[in-house]
Amino acid sequence: MEEAVVSKNFIEQIIDKDLAEGKYVKIVTRFPPEPNGYLHIGHAKSILLNYGLAKEYNGQFNLRFDDTNPTKEKTEFVDSIVKDVEWLGADFRGEVFFASNYFDQMYEAAVKLIKKGKAYVCDLSADEIREYRGTLTEPGKNSPYRDRSIEENLALFEAMKNGEFPDGSKVLRAKIDMSSPNINMRDPVIYRIARMTHHNTGDKWCIYPMYDFAHPIEDAIEGVTHSICTLEFEDHRPLYDWVVSELEYENPPKQIEFAKLYLTNVITGKRYIKALVEDGTVDGWDDPRLVTIASLRRRGFTPEALKKFMELIGVSKSQASVDYAMLEYVIREDLKPKAKRMMAVLDPVKLVIDNYPEGQTEEFDIEDNPDDPEAGTRKITFSRELYIEREDFMEEPPKKYFRLFPGNEVRLKSAYFVKCTGFEKDEDGNITVIHCTYDPATRSGNNFTERKVKGTIHWVNAADAANCTVRLYENLVDEEKGKLNEDGSINFNPDSLTVIENAKLEASLKDAVPGESFQFIRNGYFCVDSKDSAPGAPVFNRIVSLKSSYKPAQ
């Protein structure tokens, strides 16, 4: 029997080659977010990729916070990121790393560069540094402070650390090549003066390392072997390599870039999400219309569905957009075999069975999940007054309408055949009550074959229906007009949220707990909201509708 050929992505091929050549003994990967906001689905790709590689090669996965910019970082964001990574199932062994824990080593690393003649203190302003840097077609020119002596640079850098200069008055720059075709190599700033209270180190430091200097040092200290990042860092790789080379780290980490995840018609940019949160357009960073990991979890997506999604889109070097419908497809496929099928009437109208005995209640057995024979059954109650969906009745139906209309007979799911005999309207012409008769011989389970009906509708017993709030979500942006307006503002879809108060649900659903998911027959998959639900008063978020426009490749 032939063994199945396993196709490996380009990152796995690089790791295989490195291991074969003996470059590394143990594979170490990391996920290094800056704690300046909540993670989104693009970060989920990076988390699962880095953790998946560590697991595949029996290595180690680190969760590390690149907290080198105190102006935007909060403990709230740290806590949310830890929760997200844990929820996705990426095992970081309960140990969290912080770039700020290495500030002493980074300072010493900067001193080492100065002593090697590879770094200098510069007094140019930010605007002047930008002017001196040159352009993509013109080389930069040297700073007038570039040739300061090692002794002077050491003294000035120590004075910067001791708080002897105002914020922004001096920076430490790497001395590389002002004529380099890569602008990132034109003497980049590696330290700046900034009096800011840090969430982890407090007021210990008034100088902070820049990301491009700190990041490779963090990787090297932790023994990271493969520093996997997205394509926008490709032009920064020469600087990454320069830092670990000049600091003479043994077995330096290797940076590898892959394509970001772009989803159609969703907002992932932190500044846009932050604006939506701050102006109250959405209900916080975890609003179910967003695609932050917290939002997806609150809406009812599962880690398994996100993992499957990442498997489908794969890992590549070329940028491409992924249709949001693919994400919806994977959550449907994930929930289909395990979510209970429940009856829920979102736009209720009363149905009265005039010939059913008043005061009588009976029970029916109904399958929990037809796709899982072992899921079992549950009891539902039935009586003279029920609720059905308003769209399941029409006074004057078109052709091929097989639900209720005057004179027509339908099956009430798992119960009886009923025939419409009349209806009532209010003064505005709205249907308020539908009248029917039922045939006792057609009770579900009786193998009734005397006549057939073409329509089956769901219902809820009025006597014990759970009155719940249900939220229906659509895309946050208008799909036809695109994400952004001409002025750069978000093209917000005003119909992105519909709130239904007092939807009529099966009685047992009033005891549903946050995080539980169900399929509401014909309405979609729904999850109990983790934020606004209360005991006995669940709020249901629609995860996804039942219809899909996405077709998986065969």
Q: How far is CA 303 from the centre of its chain?
A: 10
pLDDT (0 to 100) of residue 1: 46
Query: What is residue 73's predicted lDDT score, i.e. its pLDDT?
Result: 87
Burial class (CB in 10 A: 0-12, 13-18, 19+), 135: exposed
Quote the pLDDT of residue 549: 62
User: Which of 46, 50, 39, 38 has its CA nearest to residue 91?
Assistant: 50
Query: Strand (E) positions, 85-201?
Result: 96-98, 119-122, 171-174, 189-193
Report d(CA 504, CA 464) in Å as an integer.
Answer: 9
Series of mean pLDDT values for 10-residue runs along the chain (554 residues): 69 96 96 94 96 97 95 90 97 95 98 98 97 95 98 98 97 98 97 94 96 97 97 96 97 95 86 88 94 96 97 91 93 96 97 96 94 90 98 94 95 96 95 97 87 94 97 86 71 90 96 97 97 96 85 59
Report the pLDDT value the prediction gives residue 550, as an integer from 0 to 100.
60
